[in-house]
């Protein structure tokens, strides 16, 4: 079995593949200072709930944007499963051609998302990932990663409003029935949903124009389903895009020592 992990700033998404089938998946809060022992205990419990013995794990592939966790992640994989985790980063085979000034700056999650999008949909394609930050990755038909647009994520915007505006409350993010709200909570929800959807559509239009193409738009991440209900340029939502990309990257590097 293959265990894949995407460690983000706010959440960690895990998947367990048995062959090509995603047997189980989990979404948990990222603990930025977990030790290898804590990770081993936590993951062992998750696997036991699925009736899986840690000895059944034959491979592990990890993408992480939390550098202070990387060493613990590698140690945990060795201690729990007796294997070296494949960490997504410079020097591994992805199939992408990074057309950027400094490839080391590109987040591992954006790499695996792009790999999965090309694998499933071909190119050109734009991947919109609704995470702590919302990212727009542009990939050509030749698997050339052209670059990214990064904007603050929706939840981050909620927190910023509540923290810096004394009279504005934290709100649950839901779609209000009308754009023009008649109370403070409806006003905020309208801006966070309709406003954000228009931001998404506008950036997709500008990116497509610069690419000189009509790319397919694939969305993923925690708020993808909600915004896709309003945005007109999102073609499909794939909540498991990152996990798929990790599986593909692992397969492409399976015979290379991690």
Task: For strands 86-87 and 59-64, give the pairing.
Answer: parallel
Q: From CA 3, how far away is CA 124, in angstroms rounded?
A: 29
- By the 8 A CB rule, do 220 and 238 touch? yes
Residue 109 appears among annotated catalytic residues: yes
Cross-strand pairs, 18? 21
CB atoms within 10 A of CB 120: 16
Q: Which one from 6, 37, 56, 109 is the annotated catalytic residue?
A: 109
Place of tokens 């983000």: 8
Q: Which residues, at least 6 apart from 78, have a Cβ–Cβ distance to it below 8 Å?
A: 84, 85
Query: Residue for token digits 């200072």?
Result: 33
Tokens describing residue 138: 């542009």
Closest C-alpha among 202, 102, 184 to residue 145: 102
* Beta pairing, strands 21-29 & 236-237: unpaired
Cβ(109)–Cβ(134) under 8 Å? no
Provide the greatest CA pair distance for the chain.
Answer: 60
| Residue 127 CA from chain centroid, whole number | 10
Residues belonging to the active site: 109
């Amino acid at each position: 079995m293959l265990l894949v992990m995407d460690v983000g700033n706010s959440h960690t998404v895990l998947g367990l593949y048995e062959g090509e089938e995603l047997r189980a998946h989990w979404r948990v809060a990222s603990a930025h200072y977990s030790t290898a022992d804590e990770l081993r205990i936590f993951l062992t419990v998750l696997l036991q709930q699925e009736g899986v013995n840690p000895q059944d794990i034959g491979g592990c592939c990890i993408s992480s944007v939390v550098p202070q966790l990387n060493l613990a992640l590698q140690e945990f994989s060795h201690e729990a499963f007796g294997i070296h985790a494949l960490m997504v980063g410079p020097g591994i085979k992805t199939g992408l051609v990074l057309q950027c000034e400094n490839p080391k700056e590109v987040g591992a999650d954006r790499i695996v998302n792009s790999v999965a999008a090309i694998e499933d949909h071909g190119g050109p394609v734009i991947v919109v990932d609704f995470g702590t930050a919302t990212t727009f990755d542009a990939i050509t038909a030749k698997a050339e990663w052209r670059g990214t647009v990064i904007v603050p994520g929706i939840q981050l915007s909620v927190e910023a409003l509540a923290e810096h505006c004394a009279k504005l409350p934290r709100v649950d993010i839901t779609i209000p029935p009308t754009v023009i709200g008649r109370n403070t909570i409806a006003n905020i929800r309208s801006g966070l949903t309709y406003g954000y959807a228009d931001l998404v559509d506008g950036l997709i239009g500008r990116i497509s124009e610069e690419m000189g193409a009509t790319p397919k738009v694939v969305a993923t991440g925690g708020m993808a389903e909600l915004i896709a209900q309003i945005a007109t340029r999102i073609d499909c939502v794939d909540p498991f895009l990152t996990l798929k990309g990790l599986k593909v990257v692992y397969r492409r590097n399976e015979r290379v020592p991690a």
